[in-house]
Amino acid sequence: MAKQEIPKAYEAKNHEDSIYAAWEQSGFFNPDNLKGEAFTIMMPPPNVTGVLHLGHALENTLMDSMIRYQRMRGRKTLLLPGTDHAALPTQAKVEKMLMEEGMKNPRQELGREKLVEKIRPFAEQSRTTILSQIKKLGTSCDWSRLAYTFDELRNRAVNELFRRMYEDGLIYRGLRVVNWSVRGQSTSSDDEIEHVERTAKLYTFRYGKDVPITIATTRPETKLGDTAIGVHPDDPRYASFIGQTFTADVGGASSLRLKVIADQQVDPAFGTGALGVTPAHSQIDFAMYETQKAKGDPIDLIPVIGSDGKMTSQAGVYAGLPVEEAREKFVGWLKKEGLMEKEEEITQNVGISDRYGDVIEAIPMTQWWLDVQKSIPGRGKSLRDLMREALTTGLHGDEKQKVIVNPDRFTKLYLDRVEHLRDWCLSRQIWWGHRIPVWYKGEEMVVGQQPEGEGWTQDEDTLDTWFSSGSWTFSTLGWPDKTVDLEAFHPTSWMQMGYEILYLWLMRMVLMSAYALDEIPFKEVYIHGILRDKNGQKFSKSLGNGIDPLEIIEKYSADALRFSVITGVTPGNDSRFYEEKVEAAQRLVNKLWNISRYILTSVEEPVHGQAFKELVPTTLADRWILSRLVRLEEEVSAHLQAAEFSQASEKLREFTWSDFADWYLEISKAQRQGETKASTDAILVYVLEHLLTYWHPIMPFVTEAIWSHFDDHELLMAHNWPVLRMVDLDLEAEAEMAWLQEAIGAIRNIRSENTVAPKQKVTVVMVGTNVEMHKGIIESLAGIESLTFASQPPTGEYASVVISDGQVFVSLQGLVNKEAERVKLGKEQKETESYIASLEGKLANEDFISKAPEHVVATMRQNLEDARKKLERYVHHSES
């Protein structure tokens, strides 16, 4: 083979797109072209609300590193890509854009169909962008199975799931108090609310002069809808009032009828111990309303706040006022009437819509709900039971149907949440999303799919977006049909997600999968943290600290980006991202490139694919580097298998830069001068091709680019992961090499301390050891002119250093600072002495000898022996 021309630096731009195209064209992204046991990852579908951010870069790196490793290990791998229509966030985003363009109320001005027609192209555009960005990151997913939560197949799955749950009595329609966003004009689930601490005013007052009970509230205006006064059943202050009804003519609004009821949930220690019960505008009060109804002692429900955030007609003279004005007016009236007893500042948590940012109002509405506690017909278990089982005993006590969470602490959070789960409000009043699959005609109602015939109208509401993403692991495989894919790839093997969607997504995937298939959605889930900026702040638009992953790829390389988001990161913990990290990673990429460049351009005929047995390790360095490679394979495999990406990449970096580049390559330069050339060349090529293979899952592009310089046309991506044998470890060579490295380091140290220029050759005498066979290595790596071995220290101007197995003397005519030498040796001697003392102490301890494992004691004894030998040399030296 002719010598190759390889550029000095790796220019990622010239390679990445064409490499990705070659991968795609090869067909190996598609498991149909692969053999072996299935290994499946469903890509968490990015929202079509814009472009990819760094978090996606992290996720794609995690998924792709895992899938590439498994593919190379001979698994039939499927990484299925997709996107999420993200109902509310997408509609909110488009509405915001329209409003920025001058529209006041897009929903009102456009109406349902026209608004959806505005959202669709935006979503499509966003999808296209995102999909191309995923390719830029190198993600090896099967594009032939691309899915979208809002396409026809997924819609069919969603409708079918809804129908089954309805028929099982789990989905019901009911009047309940919902979380209402006035700004968004829609309900939210409990999980879509953020709690923000605020200061608020707590008002303490009586409803009227004839009402003997004082209550406290931060929302006086809602008191216009009060229908009861709640007290704790054991509270002696109010015991005599329980059951009585008082009337009050509040603020000229309406006449309230307030029944005093006893309820365990009332905290006698808060405020006055009496609670104004507003069933229409409080979850807890609504629960009391239901309890009273069940008891046969019902109280009324009076909505005084409407979906527009203004007071309703039932609020009398307050009707039409925004809540804040109503509050002010009512407070004014209370004061005027002398009913107000106290006003104080308190801090409280308010629920905020996480998308629209306004305070959530509790409003009674008829909505669709999913009951998580009801027993599923024929199964004797509720959805809650299934969700619990999946992470504890495994579904039906089957260990194989258990989801393993990494790190484990998130299991606890999940389970805690499962126990406190309330019914899930499924319906939304936005328009971008799967429409509730229910049709009405007069009194008739059909669920699942549109019935034949005229006159049917579909429910106006849409489904919570998590209803469709919850079914992602199987809707993507063709469910509800019994497809080959579903059989082959479900439950999926591995999933990764950020902890911020643990509740939103993990729980719902488990719920949906357990319900629809009686299977867990995946066997293992890896929880990652979020990427923060250099100062530990979240990346956000408002802070303006965002980093576009594509710009990073453009400036450095996709491999450097991948390496830098994955390294130094542990599951479940946040990490910081900044360009210096990418720079360091890019240096590593370039290092690998140049190692390869050196080997491929200087070895005349790189023999590709040699077997370990065919190699002829001739020198110590040969044996050593092969042993190190065996160790590397073992470690990297174990780390990747365990999803310890950071550790895997650290091991690879260490081997690449230190063992291979700094040591073996340098030694090889001498070895290639003589008769060991052929064997050295073979080993260089062997180690290189293995190293590229092991790097490939993490840095796929540069490894593939280098691989293409080998003689055949096989893609590295489709190459088998070479498994080496532990029996080929050469412990003797590793120990001997470690000593040699120490000796060379010692000589270099003396040179450096005495500022001997690297070019200046020195004369070295080594005492107390005989390693003449490695003379050449020491000479070439330590810049030595003459290396001799002696039994006695030489006389004359020498600087010396004591090493584990001997002493090194470096001649330094006129350069030695004898005093400095003495001080240095004296210091080292002291350190050795105290080290010996500590070892002797340990070894003199009977308990240690009897209780510590043998190998620990043996190592300690060996260390002591070595240290004593070393000390002798110091003593000897100071005497001479």
Partner RNA sequence: GGGCGUUUAGCUCAGUUGGUUAGAGCGCUUCGUUUACAUCGAAGAUGUCGGGGGUUCGAAUCCCUCAACGCCCACCA
| Segment 328 to 347, residues that bind RNA, using CB under 7 A | 346
- Min separation Cβ 734 and RNA, Å: 11
- Min separation Cβ 358 and RNA, Å: 18
HEC string for 199-222: EEEEEEEECCCCCCCEEEECCHHH
Rg (C-alpha) for the chain, rounded Å, is 37
Measure CA 255 to chain center.
Answer: 56
Of these, 265, 393, 770, 813, which contacts RNA (CB under 7 A)?
265
Site for RNA in 8-47 (CB under 7 A): 8-10
Of these, 26, 30, 155, 283, which contacts RNA (CB under 7 A)?
283
- Report how many residues bind RNA under the rule CB under 7 A: 99
Site for RNA in 759-818 (CB under 7 A): 759
DSSP state of 2: P
Interaction between residue 296 and RNA (CB under 7 A): no
Of these, 44, 273, 303, 433, which contacts RNA (CB under 7 A)?
273
Site for RNA in 585-604 (CB under 7 A): 586-587, 589-591, 594-595, 597-598, 601-602
Interaction between residue 646 and RNA (CB under 7 A): yes
Interaction between residue 753 and RNA (CB under 7 A): yes
Interaction between residue 413 and RNA (CB under 7 A): yes
Stretch that binds RNA, among 15-23, 139-147, 243-251, 409-417 (CB under 7 A): 409-417
What's the rounded Cα separation, in Å, for the pair 83 and 192?
20
- Please list the residues that pair with 363 across neighbouring strands: 178
- Min separation Cβ 437 and RNA, Å: 28
Degrees, nearest 5: CA angle 680-684-688: 170
Query: Which residues, 6 or more positions from 236, have their beta carbon under 8 angstroms from its beta carbon?
Result: none
Of these, 2, 102, 269, 819, which contacts RNA (CB under 7 A)?
269
DSSP state of 407: S
Residue 152 CB: number of other CB atoms within 10 A? 8
What's the rounded Cα separation, in Å, for the pair 70 and 733?
32
- Min separation Cβ 741 and RNA, Å: 8
By beta-carbon proximity to RNA, the closer residue of 284 and 365 is 284
By beta-carbon proximity to RNA, the closer residue of 356 and 431 is 356
Stretch that binds RNA, among 77-85, 205-213, 545-553, 843-851 (CB under 7 A): 843-851
Site for RNA in 362-401 (CB under 7 A): none
What's the rounded Cα separation, in Å, for the pair 327 and 223?
10
Q: How many residues are there in the chain?
A: 880
Q: Considering only CA atoms, which of 768, 159, 203 is closest in space to residue 468?
A: 159
Interaction between residue 831 and RNA (CB under 7 A): yes
Token pair recorded at residue 30: 């598609």
Interaction between residue 755 and RNA (CB under 7 A): yes
Interaction between residue 662 and RNA (CB under 7 A): yes
- Min separation Cβ 90 and RNA, Å: 22
Site for RNA in 523-562 (CB under 7 A): 534, 536
Of these, 342, 851, 861, 868, which contacts RNA (CB under 7 A)?
851
* SS3 call for 36: coil
Interaction between residue 235 and RNA (CB under 7 A): no
DSSP letter string, 811-878: E-TTT--HHHHHHHHHHHHHHHHHHHHHHHHHHH-HHHHHHS-HHHHHHHHHHHHHHHHHHHHHHHHH
Interaction between residue 218 and RNA (CB under 7 A): yes
Residues 173-202: x where in contact with RNA by CB under 7 A, - otherwise, as a string: -----------------xx--xx-x-----
What's the rounded Cα separation, in Å, for the pair 362 and 854?
68
* SS3 call for 4: coil
Q: In what order do the strands lie in the sheet with 444-447?
A: 444-447, 438-441, 457-458
- Min separation Cβ 2 and RNA, Å: 17
User: Is the bond preceding 407 in cis, omega lying within 30 degrees of 0?
Assistant: yes
Stretch that binds RNA, among 2-10, 115-123, 253-261, 486-494 (CB under 7 A): 2-10
Interaction between residue 106 and RNA (CB under 7 A): no
478 close to 516: Cβ distance less than 8 angstroms: no
Of these, 117, 124, 267, 398, which contacts RNA (CB under 7 A)?
267
- Min separation Cβ 82 and RNA, Å: 26
- Min separation Cβ 217 and RNA, Å: 4
By beta-carbon proximity to RNA, the closer residue of 82 and 273 is 273
By beta-carbon proximity to RNA, the closer residue of 127 and 232 is 232
Token pair recorded at residue 78: 């499927």
Interaction between residue 856 and RNA (CB under 7 A): yes
Interaction between residue 758 and RNA (CB under 7 A): yes
By beta-carbon proximity to RNA, the closer residue of 80 and 569 is 569
Stretch that binds RNA, among 146-154, 625-633, 712-720, 829-837 (CB under 7 A): 829-837
Residues 568-587: x where in contact with RNA by CB under 7 A, - otherwise, as a string: xxx--xxxx---xx--x-xx
Q: What is the dihedral of CA 625, 631, 637, 642, to 10 degrees?
A: -140
As to burial, measured by CB atoms within 10 angstroms (0-12 exposed, 13-18 middle, 19+ buried), residue 657 is middle
By beta-carbon proximity to RNA, the closer residue of 581 and 623 is 581
Helix (H) or strand (E) holding 95: helix 87-100
Backbone angles phi, psi at 217, to 5 degrees: -155, 155
- Min separation Cβ 560 and RNA, Å: 9
By beta-carbon proximity to RNA, the closer residue of 300 and 666 is 666
DSSP letter string, 484-550: HHHHHH-SEEEEEEEGGGIIIIIHHHHHHHHHHHSS-SEEEEEEE--EE-TTSPBP-TTTT----HH
Interaction between residue 112 and RNA (CB under 7 A): no
Interaction between residue 271 and RNA (CB under 7 A): yes
